[in-house]
Amino acid sequence: MERFVEVAEGVSLWVESRGPEDAPAVLLIMGANASGLAWPDELVDVLARKHRVIRYDHRDTGASTWAFDKAPYPLTRLAEDALAILDAFGIGRAHVVGFSLGGFLVQWLLVARPERLLSATVISAAALQGTPPLADGTAQAPIAPELLEFWSHMFEPRDPEAEIEWRIENWRRLNGKVIPFDAEEFRALERRIIAHAGRSDNPGAHARADYSALARGAEFVHVTVPTLVIATPEDPTSPASNARHLAESLPRSTLVTIDGMGHAIPRAVVPRLAAALLNHFETVG
């Protein structure tokens, strides 16, 4: 089922729901500037066998409203949008799964709105700012400099085909070097996303939004929601050491490593990722 949910005046988000409507809900929150279609269909279908799985386009991505230039917002607004989607479906609590920026939003929900979460999962994301170093002094690893240089060209004008090729190169860099990169898999994904959005310009609004209100890591000591932290060792934005940092900072966390995984969800990792998620959901009830 697909529908649009109005989360603010003049702002509607594309949302898709699969699976039994009376089953426990799973809300999938994608990363910055990414359509909800970046959650692989294969993953959604496996989860939807026993859960009501919801994925959606953030504002300024995909088929949702693009209006950042007229009405800028802080990134916490995206977390509030996630709750508005649950409200629109009449869902009080859900298993909430976040990838990349979605992982930051899930962490914010852990401290700001824990009563809405049955469980939390953070994939490929460092801890929020404000989280103290580990007892051994270990701090979080930064994003690889060469990736930041590549991202500095994000907003350069490109025709549709050049934009697709830029996105494929971005995925190649994010994928890492262990799992073979299938350019055609990601080319098909990006063509589908562009057709879904009806536009090919780069959705870079989230890179310009204010991150400061997300800095609530110091409040992790109060978190009681069971949280799965998935480490992605080949991730150039957030290596496995960052996942360990986050897991050791959360009182009720479980750390799982998906060997070979980078900052992408290719088909090759779907079986292991689905198994980790389902085990987490079943464990917490």
Mean per-residue pLDDT, 72-79: 97
Catalytic residue from among 17, 100, 119, 200: 100
Confidence class of residue 141 from pLDDT cuts 50, 70 and 90? Answer: confident
Tell me, yes or no, if 58 is annotated catalytic: no
- Residue 221, pLDDT > 90, answer yes
Confidence class of residue 132 from pLDDT cuts 50, 70 and 90? Answer: confident
Tell me, yes or no, if 64 is annotated catalytic: no
Residues 118 and 284: beta-carbon distance below 8 Å: yes
What's the mean per-residue pLDDT of the chain? 95
Residues 30 and 99: beta-carbon distance below 8 Å: yes
Tell me, yes or no, if 263 is annotated catalytic: yes
Catalytic residue from among 51, 58, 95, 263: 263
- Residue 137, pLDDT > 80, answer no
Q: What is the DSSP string of 81-112?
A: HHHHHHHHTT-S-EEEEEETHHHHHHHHHHHH
Q: State how far the Cα of 163 lies from the Cα of 154, in Å rounded to an integer.
A: 9
Alpha helices (H) in the chain, listed in sequence order = 41-47, 76-88, 101-112, 145-151, 160-175, 183-197, 240-249, 270-284
Catalytic residue from among 235, 238, 249, 280: 235
Q: pTM for this one? A: 0.96
Mean per-residue pLDDT, 164-183: 97
